[in-house]
Amino acid sequence: MAEQQSYYVPASSPWPIVGAVGLGLIAWGAGHTVIDMSKEQDGYGSTVLIAGLIVMAVMLFGWFRDQINESMKGLYSDQLGVSYKQGMSWFIFSEVMFFAAFFGALFYARVIAVQWLGGDSNNAMTNEVLWPEFVAHWPLVNTPGGTETQAMGWYGLPAINTIILLVSSVTCHFAHTGLEQGKRKQLTAMLGVTIILGMIFLYLQGAEYIHAYEELGLTLDSGIYGNTFYMLTGFHGLHVTLGTVMLIIMFLRVLKGHFTPDNHFAFQATSWYWHFVDVVWLCLFVVVYVL
Amino acid sequence: MSTAVEATHHDAHHDHKPSGIGRWLFTTNHKDIGSMYLWFSFIMFLTGGAMAMVIRAELFQPGLQLIEPQFFNQMTTVHGLIMVFGAVMPAFTGLANWMIPMMIGAPDMALPRMNNWSFWILPFAFIILLGSLFMEGGGPAFGWTFYAPLSTTYSSDSTALFVFSVHIMGISSIMGAINVIVTIMNMRAPGMNYMKMPLFVWTWLITAFLLIAVMPVLAGAVTMVLTDKYFGTSFFDAAGGGDPVMFQHIFWFFGHPEVYIMILPSFGIISAIIPAFTRKRLFGYSSMVYATAAIALLSFLVWAHHMFTTGMPVFAELFFMYCTMLIAVPTGVKVFNWVATMWKGSMTFETPMLFALAFVILFTIGGFSGLMLAITPVDFQYHDTYFVVAHFHYVLVSGAIFSIMAAAYYWLPKWTGHMYDSTLAKTHFWASVISVNVLFFPMHFAGLAGMPRRIPDYATQFADVNQITSIGGFAFGLSQLIFLWVVIKCVKGGEKADAKPWEGAEGLEWTVPSPAPYHTFEKPPKVD
């Protein structure tokens, strides 16, 4: 709880409303982009979407610049630091729940929906009436509707990627301890290695997608196995991308001499985010690839 | 409960407000943001209400007379979406913004800029949603629950806009909830420990947890709808190994906690108002806290009671039936605590108390019809009938909305510095409480007799009951304009309100002058 010190309330700022406009443009633009694509027509959707993304980027840049300046001036109270940390933890919890929806879908499809289509439980007639030829199996490479595909093995690229991400979590941790102990060289080096590992992960993930699309015929629309595979790895990949961008920003700030052993919330938040992304991958590797 | 040892007073220069439109666009002030949330919510309440009037006008007589069935479906869908995400949730967030910092002795919300962002996302989200009604093919017409395949295979082009507007509403709610939870955990004045917090703060703490836990699941659900409709996935299509029933599982895993998100803050409001006008302490404070936590916990274990007729295994039906019935226990604890608080109290019946009393009685009716719906075999009869509509409108209109009205009448003097016209306010109350029952009570009978919901036409034997319902609906809709009138009158002027206009009211918010100064606490107040 707070010590008996004066409260700090940040001054008003133009960035939130800019962010709201940005999100509004993104939502409208993304919606219309998707509609335009589905009707194969030209429209303003993608233009508005790009405009929204630019506004968001400007907003993030401006908001964080103000934030960093205020922080470097020592305006922030300890209490605000605690608020930031708690806020970040709850944000990560919300991300966990987002992934939970897709893990839940995978679980339901694999353990319930596909089995029932195959006649399990009391669903003999479901199988008989809908797709009598269908036999339940997982990975679902032959869907009831007749789509065929191949499963992605866990060895090879996915296993290598697992090791890369695990190592990157360790290097990220050492960067953090380097910062806390005032060892700036260790900080810079380890942070750099983490970023490179993150990028290698993304590159290999891209290579894996190309392999899946071109050689395995495993695509986003090849039934529930492909759906859950791409949605889970795809959203994870987006999070790795975001995490890498955050790490790069931290790297630039470290080069500028920002952060002290006891005042480095931004770094800490990024490191938490990176560990979170790593844990998601571990769950994903086990339930999407191995099992 | 807590009392402030030293009331904090404020110099005039702390009351400096920025002027012009910039004040509202750039503000980091919890009171400004709270007011914006409340006004936004009221505008949405009238918008969603207008759609309800369209629905009731069409249902005034059997047959199709005013609107096309497809438009009727859009009205039921958007009415639901607007009332849930545009009216009730922002109203509670607005109340949280206004009251929580004052109740716990904080200067503002923990993350004031993010607070502003959370609010300003909402107008954009709802412009997009409402705008989609005017597109070719119309807006969303699949019900606010957007069951697949209605929202995938059979939905109009505008579905993508629905999906993205729900996405940004979700972002707004999650940020709002993070703000509330961090404010409560980190910004309490020294001495304000958890078990001294007013129940409104407690219920909001738990509500915020629920929001952070389930809004992302809703985001997942709409994302899957989007990819199913536009990108060829088959999450909800059996031909690809998915299952339309899976949609309902994911949706209701969000949806059931969501309905508690819309009622838990009400419990907090009622627990503030009943003691104030009974001049007694709240009976069973700690049992109220535990009951709220128990309801929140159970809310994650009951979602499939919305799906009894989907052909789940009997074991699942029984599990969800028993878990659902268990919720009656902590809810009963609350209702009995409120009644026990009133027992032998010296009660007076000012407008907030009238709404609070109506809440206790009418919410309990809604709770009981919920218990009836929880009984699996009986639900097979009630499912998708007007009985369900009656049930959730009793808990949401005469429950959640009445509690919001009660809160507004309770705290309006604190917000505006003026007392409102209590004759007019009581007129609003009596008009509302009578018309809301004329509106929703007959729906129980229509439902029990088998009238299906979400259909623009009905068999002629339901004509009488629908006419009564519609008359109640129009009366209820018009009654809410009285509320608007009371509020505008009160904002503009009126008898000067004391710091504590209600004799029996307790809590830190009554230790500051009315209207509450722009910045409430510069230094933490002491609480013992």
Residue B516, domain member (yes or no): no
Whether B144 is catalytic is yes
B526 is a domain residue? no
* Chain B residue numbers touching A83 (CB-CB < 8 A): 110-111, 182-183, 186-187
**In angstroms, rounded to a whole number, what is the distance separating the alpha carbons of residues A169 and A273?**
10
Considering only CB atoms, B220 lies closest to which of A90, A102, A116, namely A102
In a domain, B524, yes or no: no
Amino acid occupying residue B176: G
Q: Which residue has the tokens 């919330």?
A: A265
**Nearest chain B Cα to A225, which residue?**
B241
Residue B243 designated active-site: no
Total Cβ atoms within 10 A of residue B102 = 24
The beta strands (E) that lie in B397-479 are given as none
Tell me the one-letter amino acid at B9. H
Closest chain B CA to residue A227: B233
Which CATH superfamily includes the segment(s) A77-290? Cytochrome c oxidase, subunit III, four-helix bundle (1.20.120.80)
What's the token pair of residue A103? 């893990």
The whole-angstrom separation of Cα B166 and Cα A22 is: 15
Q: Is the pLDDT at B147 greater than 90, yes or no? A: yes
**Catalytic residue status for B260:** yes
CB-facing half-sphere around the CA of A223: CA atoms within 13 A:
26
Pick A90's closest partner by Cβ from B158, B178, B226. Answer: B178
Domain count, chain B: 1
What pairs with residue A227 in β-bridges? Answer: none
B32-74 confidence digits (pLDDT tens): 999 999 999 999 999 999 999 999 999 999 999 999 999 999 9
Closest CA to A141 of A35, A212, A45, A240: A212
Q: What are the DSSP E strand ranges found in chain A?
A: none
Q: Token digits for B46?
A: 């009238």
**B31, B56, B79, B229: the active-site residue:** B79
Task: Supply the Cα-derived Rg of chain B in whole angstroms.
Answer: 23
Of the candidates B108, B125, B523, the beta carbon closest to that of A27 is on B125
Q: Which of A3, A87, A105 sits opposite B111 (nearest CB)?
A: A87
SS (H, E, C) A60-129: HHHHHHHHHHHHHCCCCCHHHHHHHHHHHHHHHHHHHHHHHHHHHHHHHHHHHHHHHHCCCCCCHHHHHH
CB contact under 8 A, A117 and B241: yes
Beta-carbon separation of A105 and B186 below 8 A: no
- Contact between residue B295 and residue B341 where contact means Cβ atoms under 8 Å apart: no
pLDDT in tens, B330-383: 999 999 999 999 999 999 999 999 999 999 999 999 999 999 999 999 999 999
3-state secondary structure of B496: strand
CATH number at residue B213: 1.20.210.10
Secondary structure (3-state) at B120 = helix
pLDDT tens, position by position, A69-105: 988 888 888 888 999 999 999 999 999 999 999 999 9
Alpha-carbon distance B261 to B176, whole Å?
13
d(CA A71, CA A253): 13
Residue of B21, B152, B243 to mutate for A, most A C-beta atoms under 10 A: B243
> Residues B478-521: pLDDT tens digits?
999 999 999 999 999 999 999 999 999 999 999 999 999 998 88
Distance from C-alpha of B396 to C-alpha of B79, rounded to nearest angstrom? 13
Q: Which residues on B lie below 8 Å from A38 (Cβ)?
A: 157, 160, 229-230
The first and second tokens of residue B452, run together, are 């299906």
Task: Answer whether residue A264 shows pLDDT above 80.
Answer: yes
Residue A88's nearest CA partner among A282, A286, A264 is A264
Cβ neighbours for B442, distance < 8 A, ≥ 6 positions apart: B465, B468, B469, B472
Sorting pLDDT into bands at 50, 70 and 90, what band is B522?
A: confident
Q: What is the extent of the structural domain holding B196? A: 12-510
Establish if B234 touches chain A: CB-CB under 8 angstroms. Answer: yes
Phi-psi region of B138 (alpha: psi -120 to 50; beta: other; left: phi over 0): left
Tens digits of residue pLDDT in A21-57: 999 999 999 999 999 999 998 889 999 999 999 999 9
Q: Among candidates A87, A93, A19, which has minimal Cα distance to A56?
A: A19
- Tell me how long chain B is: 528
Instruction: Give the whole-angstrom CA distance, residue B333 versus residue B315.
Output: 28
Determine how many CB atoms are found less than 10 A away from the CB of residue A122: 11
Residues in B closer than 8 angstroms to A6, CB to CB, are: 522-523
| Percentage of chain B exceeding pLDDT 70 | 97
Query: B16 — contact with chain A (CB < 8 Å)?
Result: no
Cβ contacts of B16 within 8 Å, gap of 6 or more: B518
pTM, whole model, 2 decimals?
Answer: 0.95
CA–CA gap between residue B275 and residue B338 (Å, rounded): 8
Is B151 annotated in the active site? no
Q: Is the dihedral of CA A206, B166, B252, B302 positive or negative?
A: positive
Q: Give the domain ranges of chain A.
A: 13-75, 77-290
Local confidence band at A7 (pLDDT 50, 70, 90 cut-offs): low
CATH of domain A13-75: 1.10.287
Three-class SS state of B512: coil
* pLDDT surpassing 70 at residue A1: no
Mean pLDDT score, B224-247: 96
Active site residue B10: no
Residue B377 inside a domain? The answer is yes
